[in-house]
Amino acid sequence: MSAAADKPVRVLYSFPHKIGTDRICNTAWQLVNGAAAAGTDIHLFTGVLSKPFPTNVRVNTTLARGKLRIPYKLLGKVRALQLHDHIVSRWVEKLADEIDVVHTWPVGALKTLKAAKRLGIPTVLERPNAHTRFAYEVVRKECERLGITMPPDHEHAFHEDILRIEEEEYALADRLLCPSDFVLQTFLDAGFLREKLARHQYGFDHQIYTSAGSSQGAGPGLTMLFVGGVAPRKGLHYALEAWMASPAHKDGTFLIAGEFIPGYAEKLGPLLAHPSVHRLGHRRDVADLMKKSDLLVLPSIEEGSALVTSEARGSGCVLLVSDAAGAICKHTENALVHHAGDVKALTEHLTMLHQDRALLKKLRDASLSTVNELTWSSAGIRLANVYRDTAKLKYT
């Protein structure tokens, strides 16, 4: 028996955080909105609703009622996520006949996944980052190489309890939602079967990030931009080494938008002190910065799928990224991609664009020609297709 093709897939979407704020909370909001617009029937259960949805998305909050909220800090992050999970698991049992697929997020999914499995409802688990064991290990090694210790409360500092929970979630979910080929590969390398891994994608807001009115190419030298939380995993040290090794630094500008973790800036002191390098701190005008920048550099050693790369493409920036950045792009076609940690290759790519502005324009034009494929609407359509495919597991 197969699901009726003309009926919308009914998804219980469980998000344990404050949906609609920033970072993954914005990602989840956009995915729900996009999938609903693509025809999915979504019943959302979220810790807190921070941004409203159109009326076609039904919403229940688990850690808030009206203006009254249960503080995440009071409970502790993990306990708050687990309370959400417990509440949603009970709803899965109540709504079993109205659900085709359950969509969960990390650390707040164990009981929900178990309830769905008992009831024969297919499940997907969002993987906004690489396999957690892999991510912890590569960050640890990079920090040791640099002589830096990650702040203990940082999400990429090693937490044994988080790893244990997430690996149990991996095993329980029918499919793991991988937003990039890099994420997918980290799970293949860990021994997961390809059929358990579903590729979807994230997107960007094309109304905010646009090339209209840009001033790219206006200066005598290149303007290169880095955006993100400034920690070793993002590879800023590699970008700075390549910048100084390339002639681009002689008449160009390197803008760094983001807050440094303790100790990292001190390790990079001489490189950051060069007059071509400008530390901007945390910025809320990233869209404007992108309009002024020729390049977006992101030499990450591990990522999920950095939203900033799609935002940069929408803004007309050419990507200089590692193969671990999770960027949606093609090397030499609309971007230049190097192997993570390969400073020599990144230097060569930067020098090529410094010396050949025709190549820069070619890559920029090719990148802009397909940015419509990177919007949140496109991401929603792709997710809706994953739901349709996953829902078939219920009837086989």
* pLDDT by position in tens, the chain (length 396): 334 457 899 999 999 999 999 999 999 999 999 999 999 999 999 999 999 999 999 999 999 887 777 788 888 889 999 999 999 999 999 999 999 999 999 999 999 999 999 999 999 999 999 999 999 999 999 999 999 998 888 888 889 999 999 999 999 999 999 999 999 999 999 999 999 999 999 999 999 999 998 878 777 899 999 999 999 999 999 999 999 999 999 999 999 999 999 999 999 999 999 999 999 999 999 999 999 999 999 999 999 999 999 999 999 999 999 999 999 999 999 999 999 999 999 999 999 999 999 999 999 999 999 999 999 999 999 999 999 999 998 765
SS3 349: helix
**Which stretches within the chain are classed as H helix?**
24-37, 72-75, 77-94, 110-119, 132-146, 160-172, 181-189, 236-245, 248-251, 264-267, 269-272, 286-291, 307-315, 343-355, 357-369, 376-391
Q: Is residue 110 domain-resident?
A: yes
Same domain, 362 and 380: no
Q: Does one domain contain both 366 and 382?
A: no
Expressed as residue numbers, the domain containing 364 is: 223-374
Does residue 383 share a domain with residue 366?
no
β-bridge partners, 41: 10
pTM of the model: 0.94
Same domain, residue pair 189 and 252: no
Assess whether 243 and 318 both reside in one domain: yes
On whether both 384 and 318 belong to a single domain, the answer is no
Please indicate, yes or no, if residue 210 is contained in any of the structural domains: no
Query: Are 53 and 127 members of one domain?
Result: yes
Q: Are residues 174 and 252 in the same domain?
A: no
**Helices (H) then strands (E): counts for the chain:** 16, 15
**Claim to verify: residue 367 and residue 387 sit in the same structural domain:** no
- The CATH number assigned to the domain holding 260 equals 3.40.50.2000
271 and 292 fall within a common domain:
yes
Phi–psi pair at 36, nearest 5 degrees = -65, -40
Whether 288 and 230 share a structural domain? yes
> What is the number of structural domains in the chain?
2
